[in-house]
């Protein structure tokens, strides 16, 4: 039953993500060529700036997932009702604050960024539209978190698929009829809000929770704030890690330069979304295991979860590195290859190291041991911002857009190589090299034939069009799929060896013996 639930959640997540990537892959160049570089750059800039509104979440979304899964595991209906009402009231207050920030911020859009005068009124109005939709989305967003906490990802993904398809259809129709940036912006923000309303209906059908002021509890708010406060720091750091690039480029290089960066960056985003859609299931799973005190299950999730992430991201990275120029040319045109491929490469490699360990932060959240993670990601985010500002203004060959990408890649590499594999290994009593061997030897071995096929096709059968490119990627993935099928059939993909270090194993044996002695 557990495996079936996981398959439903992961399968629906990948279907949703696949539709999202397909739509984005075809829709992005359509929007780019219809709007032009300057308008498209403004589009990316406004959505990136309002993306910072995510810090207003204050980490509550992660606490919703954790505590909903925890309360349902121990069947605490009263605690769940108090948590829901307290979270909803908090989110409503945050939404009102975000509305105020939007109205004030729209006035300063022209002075903060290099936006052509002809586009300034449109940019201000787009900022208001997107900002207000994000503000409304705060209280509505609680229901997506509750579906995740209930491990009903398939319901979340079903509503997302409908929203994506409708948004794509309406966007194409609007652009074909001559409508511009504002109409596309309205379509983009309204459909997610409608899908949030649908999620609210689903949640109340699954959990008929009572609502009212009497369920808003200060003690629940304090507990939620204690957990969410640390998460908030991490969210700010993540914004500095991934969202500052567009803002820095928009400030120092102008909106047209954003397009060059966003093409390479968007391909990396697609790869990240593939892994994240898988890794999201590990937070509620680890939260329930932690609530039950099952350290053995947490260790298995740690190794098997990160192995699964590596099995997904390693072949994607191989394809983008080896066939990346052909991908960009077939996607948006040859003139973007020279500027966007190096950017993609610089960001992709350290991001791959992080994504191969994407289960780790989810488990840390599930165990509520994320304080140290907050410090590390904060240092990384600040270093990213400083390096990006310095390097984007550098006039050498590594300056400009490329310099900004390097400013992101250097701190990210440090976190991926030094901190991430060590911290949770120490918490769970697993030796680092044991974890690395158990998690990554199999994915690396399965990728070796794939890399050989990709290199051979690039040398002997270079392609420049979308259909031949898709055929080559399909051939390569069939080779990888054959190896993955063998690993699944022989159950090597599921095997997890003895993970506890000898020292910890001895300590646990002693503790168990003492407990049995006390019972006797």
**Torsion angle of C-alpha atoms 467, 473, 478, 484, degrees rounded to 10:** -150
Q: What pLDDT was estimated at residue 2?
A: 57
Q: What pLDDT was estimated at residue 51?
A: 61
Q: How many other CB atoms sit within 10 Å of the CB of residue 407? A: 25
Q: What are phi and psi of 170, to 5 degrees?
A: -65, -35
CB neighbour list of residue 80: distance below 8 Å, 6 or more residues apart = 67, 68, 71, 72, 207, 209
Q: How many other CB atoms sit within 10 Å of the CB of residue 202? A: 18
Q: How many other CB atoms sit within 10 Å of the CB of residue 268? A: 26
Instruction: Give strand pairing partners of 430.
Output: 500
Instruction: Retrieve residue 362's tokens.
Output: 């989810």
Instruction: Give the helix ranges, DSSP H, for 356-465.
Output: 359-366, 371-392, 400-414, 420-428, 432-460
What is the 3-class SS of 142-187, one letter each residue?
Answer: HHHHHHHHCCCHHHHHHHHHHHHHHHHHHHHHHHHCCCCHHHHHHH
Q: How far is CA 135 from the centre of its chain?
A: 20
Q: What pLDDT was estimated at residue 447?
A: 95
Closest CA to 140 of 212, 99, 87: 87
Q: What pLDDT was estimated at residue 104?
A: 85
Distances (CA, A) of 419 to 278, 382, 432, 458: 22, 16, 11, 36
Instruction: Quick: pLDDT tens for 300-309.
Output: 889 999 999 9
Cα separation, 286 vs 227, in Å, equals: 16
The answer to whether the CB of 231 falls within 8 A of the CB of 365 is yes
Instruction: Quick: pLDDT tens for 37-55.
Output: 777 777 677 766 666 566 6
Q: What are phi and psi of 222, to 5 degrees?
A: -65, -45
Question: Judging by beta carbons within 10 Å of its beta carbon (0-12, 13-18, 19+), is residue 252 exposed, middle or buried?
Answer: middle
Q: What pLDDT was estimated at residue 48?
A: 67
Q: What pLDDT was estimated at residue 328?
A: 92
Closest CA to 307 of 267, 360, 365: 360
Q: What pLDDT was estimated at residue 204?
A: 87
The answer to whether the CB of 261 falls within 8 A of the CB of 56 is no
Q: What pLDDT was estimated at residue 502?
A: 47
How big is the chain by its Cα radius of gyration, in Å? 24
Instruction: Retrieve residue 115's tokens.
Output: 């936006």
Instruction: Give strand pairing partners of 500.
Output: 430
Q: What pLDDT was estimated at residue 9?
A: 73
Cα separation, 309 vs 406, in Å, equals: 24
Percent helix / strand / coil, the chain, rounded to 5: 85, 0, 15
The low-confidence residues of the chain, meaning pLDDT below 70, are 1-6, 43, 47-59, 74, 110, 112-114, 228-229, 242, 255, 395-399, 497-520
The answer to whether the CB of 476 falls within 8 A of the CB of 461 is no
Q: Identify the DSSP state of 397.
A: T
Give the DSSP per-residue string, 405-420.
Answer: HHHHHHHHHHIIIIIH
Q: Assign 500 to helix, strand or coil.
A: strand
């Amino acid at each position: 039953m557990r495996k079936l639930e996981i398959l439903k959640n992961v399968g629906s997540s990948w279907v949703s993500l696949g539709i999202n990537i397909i739509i984005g892959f075809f829709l992005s160049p359509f929007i780019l060529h219809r709007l032009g570089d300057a308008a498209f750059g403004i589009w990316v800039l406004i959505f990136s700036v309002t993306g910072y509104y995510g810090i207003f979440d204050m980490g509550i979304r992660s606490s919703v997932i954790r505590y909903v899964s925890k309360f349902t595991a121990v069947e605490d209906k009263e605690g769940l009702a108090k948590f829901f009402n307290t979270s909803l009231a908090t989110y409503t207050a945050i939404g009102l604050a975000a509305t105020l920030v939007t109205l004030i911020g729209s006035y300063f859009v022209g002075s903060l960024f290099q936006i052509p005068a002809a586009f300034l009124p449109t940019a201000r109005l787009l900022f208001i539209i997107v900002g207000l939709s994000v503000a409304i989305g705060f209280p509505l967003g609680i229901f997506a978190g509750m579906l995740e906490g209930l491990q009903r990802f398939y319901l979340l993904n079903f509503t997302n698929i409908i929203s994506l398809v409708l948004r794509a259809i309406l966007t194409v129709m609007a652009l074909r009829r001559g409508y511009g940036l504002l109409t596309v912006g309205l379509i983009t923000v309204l459909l997610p809000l409608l899908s949030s309303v649908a999620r609210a209906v689903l949640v109340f059908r699954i959990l008929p929770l009572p609502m009212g002021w009497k369920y808003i509890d200060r003690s629940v708010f304090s507990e939620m704030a204690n957990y969410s406060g640390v998460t908030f720091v991490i969210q700010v750091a993540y914004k500095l890690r991934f969202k500052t690039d567009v803002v820095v480029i928009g400030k120092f290089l102008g909106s047209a330069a954003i397009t060059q960066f966003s093409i390479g960056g968007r391909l990396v985003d697609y790869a990240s979304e593939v892994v994240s859609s898988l890794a999201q299931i590990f937070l509620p799973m680890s939260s329930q295991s932690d609530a039950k005190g099952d350290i053995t299950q947490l260790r298995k999730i740690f190794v098997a979860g990160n192995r699964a992430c590596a099995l997904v991201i390693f072949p994607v990275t191989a394809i983008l590195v080896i066939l990346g120029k052909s991908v960009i040319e077939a996607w948006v045109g040859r003139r973007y290859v020279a500027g966007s491929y190096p950017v993609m490469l610089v960001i992709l490699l350290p991001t791959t190291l992080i994504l191969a360990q994407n289960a780790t932060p989810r488990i840390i959240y599930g165990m509520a041991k994320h304080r140290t993670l907050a410090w590390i990601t904060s240092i990384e985010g600040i270093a990213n911002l400083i390096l990006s500002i310095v390097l984007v203004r550098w006039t050498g060959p590594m300056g400009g857009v490329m310099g900004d990408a390097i400013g992101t890649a250097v701190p990210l590499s440090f976190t991926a190589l030094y901190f991430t594999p060590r911290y949770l290994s120490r918490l769970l009593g697993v030796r680092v090299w044991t974890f690395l061997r158990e998690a990554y030897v199999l994915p690396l071995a399965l990728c070796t034939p794939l890399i050989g096929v990709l290199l051979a096709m690039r040398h002997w059968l270079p392609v420049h069009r979308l259909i031949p490119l898709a055929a080559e990627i399909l051939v390569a993935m069939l080779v990888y799929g054959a190896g993955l099928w063998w690993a699944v059939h022989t159950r090597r993909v599921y095997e997890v060896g003895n993970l506890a270090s000898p020292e910890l194993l001895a300590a646990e044996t002693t503790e168990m013996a003492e407990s049995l002695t006390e019972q006797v």
